[in-house]
């Protein structure tokens, strides 16, 4: 009895693809032609499902209306009501301090301090100008130190600062 050819050579066993005589390129083309439209259809139908991932009743990314207690008041603040509320808050704080045996604060002094209008603070542009002037002045002083180490005459700090500011900004 003669052995079967695939029994001797296991890699030469006939396969189902070999039985119908289709090569591997044709199989890949058939899979691609069937799989690509199916995948495109599936992805187009799943678009809404991907958008809803992470959303729901407990999601924090939804655009919910701002709660009423977090909205700014539309009406002007009544200064008498504000003063009464500040005084009430300070009295409660003083009572708690007294219960704990701590030194209590003077309610009248603290209320007047909190309710007085803020002092006139310099504007943001004035603060920025002062900071810029100080920085340029520091650079001029550093330049003078280098000049003196080289044996050169130092520059007048104020006039050089003014000149640098005019060059950079256009006015001192």
Tokens (6 digits) for 98:
């007294």
Number of domains in the chain: 3
CB contact at 8 A, 168 and 139: no
Q: Rounded to whole angstroms, how far apart are CA atoms 15 and 24?
A: 12
Q: Rounded to whole angstroms, how far apart are CA atoms 57 and 62?
A: 9
Q: Check whether 86 has a pLDDT greater than 80.
A: yes
CB contact at 8 A, 159 and 131: no
Residue 149 maps to a domain: yes
52-78: per-residue pLDDT in tens?
A: 777 777 776 666 677 776 777 667 778
Residue 68 maps to a domain: no
Domain that includes residue 90, residue range: 78-115
Residue 106 maps to a domain: yes
Q: What is the pTM of this model?
A: 0.31
Whether residue 134 is found in the same domain as residue 103? no
Compare 172 and 107 and report the one with higher pLDDT: 107
Q: What is the CA radius of gyration of the chain?
A: 41
Q: Check whether 18 has a pLDDT greater than 80.
A: no
Residue 152 maps to a domain: yes
CB contact at 8 A, 6 and 12: yes
Residue 160 maps to a domain: yes
CB contact at 8 A, 135 and 143: no
Q: What is the pLDDT of residue 138?
A: 92
């Amino acid at each position: 009895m003669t052995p079967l050819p695939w029994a001797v050579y296991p890699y030469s066993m006939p396969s189902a693809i070999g039985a119908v005589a289709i090569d591997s390129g044709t199989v890949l083309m058939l899979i691609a032609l069937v799989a690509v439209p199916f995948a495109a259809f599936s992805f187009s139908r799943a678009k809404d499902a991907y958008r809803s991932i992470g959303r729901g009743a407990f999601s924090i990314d939804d655009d919910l209306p701002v709660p009423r207690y977090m909205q700014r008041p539309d009406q002007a603040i009544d200064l008498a009501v504000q003063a009464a509320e500040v005084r009430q808050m300070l009295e409660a704080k003083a009572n708690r301090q007294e219960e704990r045996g701590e030194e209590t604060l003077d309610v009248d002094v603290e209320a007047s301090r909190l309710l007085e209008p803020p002092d006139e603070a310099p504007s943001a542009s004035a603060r920025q100008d002062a900071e810029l002037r100080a920085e340029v002045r520091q650079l001029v002083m550093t330049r003078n130190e280098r000049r003196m180490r080289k044996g050169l005459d130092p520059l007048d700090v104020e006039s050089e600062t003014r000149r640098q500011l005019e060059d950079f900004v256009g006015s001192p």
